[in-house]
């Protein structure tokens, strides 16, 4: 029987690349995103793709979407908790509170709600268990200037990952985190032109193909449940991360 994964933020960037790689590998894939058009584009030509228009901050919508996947495919093997946004860099006193709340709602609360929905299914199904992979960021341990909302949420994702990894043991639910550095998505395109550095300068940074991230997620998801990658960092080798600042 084909394995099943739900991918949030599946309409573009890391999510879209990862979804296509899993579909090509024969997985059933639930595609979650806020906009139907991009999800349909990712799903085109794949009978095992399921388009689910869903706001990850809406508890009822999340539960309903996850139940639809479980009803159609009969089993949920993995969740890639990928949906997230950034906030334009600025000093904390210039950050709009509404932007902070939106970032927390999507990046942190959305990840919590999706993990919660997946957990409920994985705990109750037979055989019991599954795998949850959270999308963290290298910013969770080495922030960029002016990124308080984004960095705070990604730091919190690390706490969520560690706690769920511990709590999942009795239910055969494995939880890990992938920290991504400079995958070339629409969000990362400014890095090829120039972004603020810790020393006050603005410089272009090295990037990597987004498919390298998809490959890493595929490796994490493909492990037997007796093994787990708790944290993996996948980054453009020459980006300023080790020694940032």
- Residue 46 annotated to the active site: no
In the set 22, 27, 112, 150, the catalytic residue is 150
Largest CA distance in the chain: 55
Angle between helices 36-43 and 13-24 (to 10 degrees): 30
Residue 210's DSSP bridge partners are: none
Measured between its terminal Cα atoms, the distance across the chain in Å is 49
C-alpha to C-alpha distances, 114 to 58, 64, 175, 176, 205, nearest whole angstrom:
10, 11, 13, 14, 32
Q: Which two tokens stand for residue 40?
A: 């349909």
Q: Which two tokens stand for residue 183?
A: 């995958």
Catalytic residues: 150
């Amino acid at each position: 029987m084909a394995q099943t994964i739900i991918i949030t933020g599946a309409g573009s960037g890391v999510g879209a690349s990862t979804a296509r790689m899993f579909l090509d590998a024969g997985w059933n894939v639930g595609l979650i995103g806020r906009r139907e058009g991009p999800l349909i584009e990712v799903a085109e030509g794949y009978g095992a793709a399921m388009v689910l228009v869903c706001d990850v901050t809406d508890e009822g919508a999340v539960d309903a979407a996850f139940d639809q996947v479980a009803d159609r495919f009969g089993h949920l093997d993995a969740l890639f908790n990928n949906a997230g946004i950034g906030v334009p860099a600025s000093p904390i006193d210039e950050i709009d509170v509404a932007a902070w709340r939106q970032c927390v709602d999507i990046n942190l609360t959305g990840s919590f709600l999706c993990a919660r929905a997946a957990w409920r299914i994985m705990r109750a199904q037979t055989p019991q268990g599954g795998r949850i992979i959270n999308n963290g960021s290298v910013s969770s341990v080495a922030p960029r200037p002016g990124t308080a909302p984004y960095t705070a949420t990604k730091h919190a994702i690390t706490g969520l990952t560690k706690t769920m990894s511990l709590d999942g043991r009795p239910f055969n639910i494995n939880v890990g985190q992938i920290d991504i550095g400079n995958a070339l998505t629409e969000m990362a395109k400014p890095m090829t032109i120039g972004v603020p550095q810790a020393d006050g300068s603005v410089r272009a940074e090295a990037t990597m193909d987004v498919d390298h991230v998809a490959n890493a997620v595929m490796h994490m998801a493909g492990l037997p449940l007796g093994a787990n990658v708790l944290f993996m960092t996948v980054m453009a080798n020459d980006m300023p991360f080790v020694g940032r600042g």
